[in-house]
Structure 1
Amino acid sequence: MSLKVSLLTQTLTVALLTTVVLAQPSGRRGGGGFSSMMSGGGMTPDYMLRDLQKFNDAFDLSEDQLMIVEQILRDYDESFREASDASQEGIGGSFRSMRGSEDDPASQKRDALRQRYRDVQDKLDAARKLGEDADTAKMQENLQNEMNTIREEMQAVRAEQWQSAERQSAFEEISLLIQDQLRLKKQMKNELEGDLVVLLSEEQLALWPALQRQLIRDRLLPRGRLSGETVDVMALVDQQEFDADVLATLSPALDEWDVQVASALTAREDYIVETQGVLMSSMTTMDVSGGIDVMKTQGSLSESVRSINDLAIENIVLLLPSELSKAFDDEAKQRGYPRIFRTTRVERAYEAAQELEGLEADILSAIVDLEMAIVIELAYANEHILSETHRWESQENLDRMNRFAQRMSGGSSERAASPIREAEDAKRVIEDTYLEQLKMLLTEEQIEALGGLETSKDRESNRDREGRGAGSGYSDRGGRGGFEGGREEFIKRFDKNGDGEINEEERVAIREYFRNGGGRPN
């Protein structure tokens, strides 16, 4: 097996682990560990005893019905737990058989290579401190080449271990156990629902599809892996406490979302569960193309759920009265995309600055003007990040798994260019610029009262912020409402002693500049 195939196979392993971790509910009782992770959705029950209250609320069960439904759920819970525990034990045993012993020649060779790699790494680190003459550079090159050779040997050992008959047999056993558990899970689900159908009246059965969709949402929405994928639009609307007329207007949009998101969540979950066997087969047969296709399809199904959520929110915003629509839109964005739409440090700083005691009227007016400008700048930056997130987030998740697999194989794990990260960095450039401008308006005491107003450069001085922001569509220009020419030009204008900093005397000149109307946004 080639090293490239070995690396891709390890990527599939990471993908399978990621998939099945997402398929596990938090705090699940019974079992756990690696074997539980590998069995993924097969170990996740479709119904739980705690669902009894939801059944009662939906169907208004009689006392006799309530007792029977409770017993049905209890029997299901106990039977499912017994079956999943048995499957986990079998899967765990298969994994333990793959580990081998310390006396295994392949394991000993791998450990020896790891030690050699660490020794050469230490020598290279020491050589980098010696200087930059030709002899030292040549020594560093030789050590780096030696490390590359060791890394290739480590990859070859891993490939050999992966091809061993014992490991392939263990994977086949695990695949069979997972498939058996999935078949049993489906059978138990059908039996429970069949028992309920017999128990319920016609009127109650008419309410069954709506309850099923609610249970699907409650169980599967929190398992989303993408931004915006986990938003429960129905719950979000309920929390707003709209009046009856508004809710009646929103009802068609909510009903449409309810049906569509339940279908998309079911498709996503079914595919994740059903393709665990495909991923296992890809690892055992080395058919990596099939496994990569599975991961891409999983990402597409997650994007479908997110798109349904986003479209429903857009429709609701359009249907709401103008006095309610913006607040709902803002909350929905913060709920679905908190990394993008949460309140920033610079926004909090401008709000706090306006509350400072003894702030001169002209300075307060300038701060208000700049705050209006930054709202516009950040709104534009946020939409840019949102666009890049929609376009690239799923692919970047796959890239992260690839990097992890590369680290596992001893290879390079350098990050690829990230459009999302570049857009986020560009936003931080804007934030830093406006923080600098705010500091220019305030006295040292006022800056201290606001906590120092540290920029990202101040807080992360070891990172080259300006280089990270390049090429992303923004520049250190102070924003559309900021100082013309950006921070550097502005400092140059008032830095009388040429030390590159603004002292208190120069700050007085800046405040006088604002009193005369300079620097205000048009």
Structure 2
Amino acid sequence: MAAGSLFTIATPAHAQFGAQAGFADAFRPEFLDRDMPLFVEILKLEDWQRPIVEVLLQDYMISFEAGVDEVKDKMRALQGRIGNARPDAVMELILEPLTAWDTERSALGATFLRNIKAQLTGDQISRWPRFERTLRREKELPKGELMGESVDLYTLIRTMRFPYEIEEGLDPLLVEYELSLDSALSVRAAKIASLQEEIKDAMAGMDFDAGLRATDQIMSTRVLVRRVQDDYIEKITAALPDELGEQFRRTALLDGYPRAFRPTPIPRLIESVRSSDPELSDAQVAQLDEIEADFELRLESLEMRIVEAYRANQPGESREKVQRMIDRRNGKTFDRVTSLADRLIAEKNDLVDETRRRILAILSPEQTGNLPGNSSKGNRIPGIDGVELDEDGVAREKIRTLAPSKKGPAQPKFKSPGEASKEGRGSGTSRSIDPTGSGKGGKSGDRD
């Protein structure tokens, strides 16, 4: 039985505690082949040093994999001992080899870095603190759970390719950001490490209250990391020229809070209407301009309200989820709760439907019929992958609904293009795309 299978024996609340404590990291090596450019660029390795570092890296990875295999073998051997054991006894059995491996894993990483450091010259040693900060940013940032927690503003600035003099002017602020973020990431990592035993004891002893207290402490450090990100989005925006500042702010918020900024079909619909045949009259152009301006103003306000809703409410959602699991286990039932963010997203979808109807209302039947995407098979919104409309003009393929609750009827929820396209591709994960269209790809070395 694999390690992951053993964990399915635990309750969902146990799994939530383990996720908060970062137990999944136990089976992930800290250093990989793809980290080699980081060593070379930040430490400025000489040609003769690179093969040595590569060998040390390979030795580390081999030792790590051997350690993981040993832990998995031990956990498979537990299958026969688990039987009908009490849940608390099962958790103790599972956690025993993990605890021993955690100590060994930390020692492997420390030994690897110590061996690397032994190969460096004096000048390279002086770069070690910056190397550690860059390494921590690379390794720790992706471990965020809150929206806005894992955005990398340093890399984002580099990928946006501002003029050199503007990037140079931002350098002092980016150094300040680097230090503030590193401090917050260090606090988060230290808190998670310090609570490992407490969370394991809570899991083994079925002490859900203790587990919740520990995960609350971890969540407070996640909020701290996100606060650094949010603060520096505003500071960097203020330091840039107006147009570039707004471009940066929009991109950073989109990267950090993608659910708030899911694209709507309205811009493409407006583009198609402006090029309609017959051409729009002056009165129609004026009406369309007014509709577009009103939509953009209301959309911007709604999107920022969604961001604020996530900032205010998301940190407490993990605790609420675990508490519901515990209460459900004790026989309690609950009505479905719709979050403030979900209600605001539904309001955004209503705005999209209202705006689409307003746009179509200013067109003549001939103009509507000649819009790209229309066919004898039914009305279609132009520019949205040929989505068919119902008799009320609602996009059938793009609208899904939130389930009705006792507090109100079902609410429309607009699918993003990414969600819709997944239906034909199966599940998968992807990172936010940077403004260049190339993704976040690759390591972005720090300047000297």
Shift of 1:404: 5.5
The residue aligned with 1:318 is 238
Q: Which moved more, 1:330-339 or 1:351-360?
A: 351-360
Going from structure 1 to structure 2, the CA distance change for 1:379 and 1:306 (only over 3 Å counts) comes to: same
The residue aligned with 2:161 is 241
Q: Partner of 1:199: helix, strand, or coil?
A: coil
- Cα distance in 1 between the residues matched to 2:288 and 2:171: 43
Deviations 1:453-500 (A, max 9, x none): 456686458967994699xxxxxxxxxxxxxxxxxxxxxxxxxxxxxx
Q: Partner of 2:48: helix, strand, or coil?
A: helix
2:212/2:319 contact within 8 Å kept? no
| Residues 91-110 of structure 1: pairs in structure 2 closer than 5 A | 91-94=75-78, 97-98=81-82, 100=84
Shift of 1:264: 2.2
Give the alignment partner of residue 332 of structure 1, picking from 241, 249, 252: 252
Shift of 1:319: 0.5
- Cα distance in 2 between the residues matched to 1:219 and 1:373: 43
The residue aligned with 2:34 is 50
Deviations 1:321-349 (A, max 9, x none): 12311111121122111221243123332
The residue aligned with 2:439 is none
The residue aligned with 1:110 is none
| Residues 184-199 of structure 1: pairs in structure 2 closer than 5 A | 184-199=104-119
| Residues 256-271 of structure 1: pairs in structure 2 closer than 5 A | 256-271=176-191
Give the alignment partner of residue 213 of structure 2, picking from 280, 283, 293: 293
| Residues 371-390 of structure 1: pairs in structure 2 closer than 5 A | 371-390=292-311
Going from structure 1 to structure 2, the CA distance change for 1:15 and 1:461 (only over 3 Å counts) comes to: closer
2:74/2:97 contact within 8 Å kept? yes
1:425/1:469 contact within 8 Å kept? no
Shift of 1:260: 2.0
The residue aligned with 1:304 is 224
- Amino acid in the other structure paired with 2:303: N
1:282/1:290 contact within 8 Å kept? yes
Deviations 1:433-458 (A, max 9, x none): 21221221224554453653456686
1:388/1:419 contact within 8 Å kept? yes
The residue aligned with 1:511 is none
| Residues 158-197 of structure 1: pairs in structure 2 closer than 5 A | 164-165=85-86, 167-197=87-117
Question: Structure 1: any 5+ residue segments left out of the alignment?
Answer: 1-8, 24-38, 101-163, 471-522
The residue aligned with 2:285 is 364
1:429/1:469 contact within 8 Å kept? no
2:151/2:256 contact within 8 Å kept? yes
- Cα distance in 2 between the residues matched to 1:462 and 1:209: 49
The residue aligned with 1:228 is 148
- Cα distance in 1 between the residues matched to 2:267 and 2:324: 35
Shift of 1:397: 3.5
Q: Partner of 1:63: helix, strand, or coil?
A: coil
Give the alignment partner of residue 278 of structure 1, picking from 172, 195, 198: 198
Deviations 1:364-408 (A, max 9, x none): 221111100111111111111111110001222433445566677
TM-score, normalised to structure 1, is 0.66
The residue aligned with 2:385 is none
Q: Partner of 2:300: helix, strand, or coil?
A: helix
The residue aligned with 1:398 is 319
- Cα distance in 2 between the residues matched to 1:371 and 1:412: 45
Give the alignment partner of residue 87 of structure 1, picking from 49, 71, 76: 71
- Cα distance in 1 between the residues matched to 2:250 and 2:272: 21
| Residues 463-474 of structure 1: pairs in structure 2 closer than 5 A | 467=408
- Amino acid in the other structure paired with 2:17: L
Deviations 1:117-148 (A, max 9, x none): xxxxxxxxxxxxxxxxxxxxxxxxxxxxxxxx
- Residue 72 of structure 2 is aligned to residue 71 of structure 1: no
The residue aligned with 2:427 is none
Going from structure 1 to structure 2, the CA distance change for 1:49 and 1:340 (only over 3 Å counts) comes to: same
- Cα distance in 2 between the residues matched to 1:424 and 1:407: 28
- Residue 44 of structure 2 is aligned to residue 60 of structure 1: yes
- Residue 14 of structure 2 is aligned to residue 13 of structure 1: yes
Going from structure 1 to structure 2, the CA distance change for 1:270 and 1:84 (only over 3 Å counts) comes to: farther
Shift of 1:302: 1.8
Point out the structure with max Rg over C-alpha: 1
2:91/2:204 contact within 8 Å kept? yes
2:274/2:280 contact within 8 Å kept? no
Shift of 1:99: 5.5
Greater per-residue helix proportion: 1
Deviations 1:250-298 (A, max 9, x none): 1122112212222322333343355343233113323222101122222
1:12/1:292 contact within 8 Å kept? no
% identical aligned pairs: 23
The residue aligned with 1:494 is none
What is the aligned length? 381
The residue aligned with 1:351 is 271
- Amino acid in the other structure paired with 2:360: K
1:98/1:170 contact within 8 Å kept? yes
Going from structure 1 to structure 2, the CA distance change for 1:219 and 1:231 (only over 3 Å counts) comes to: same
Q: Partner of 1:312: helix, strand, or coil?
A: helix
Going from structure 1 to structure 2, the CA distance change for 1:51 and 1:386 (only over 3 Å counts) comes to: same
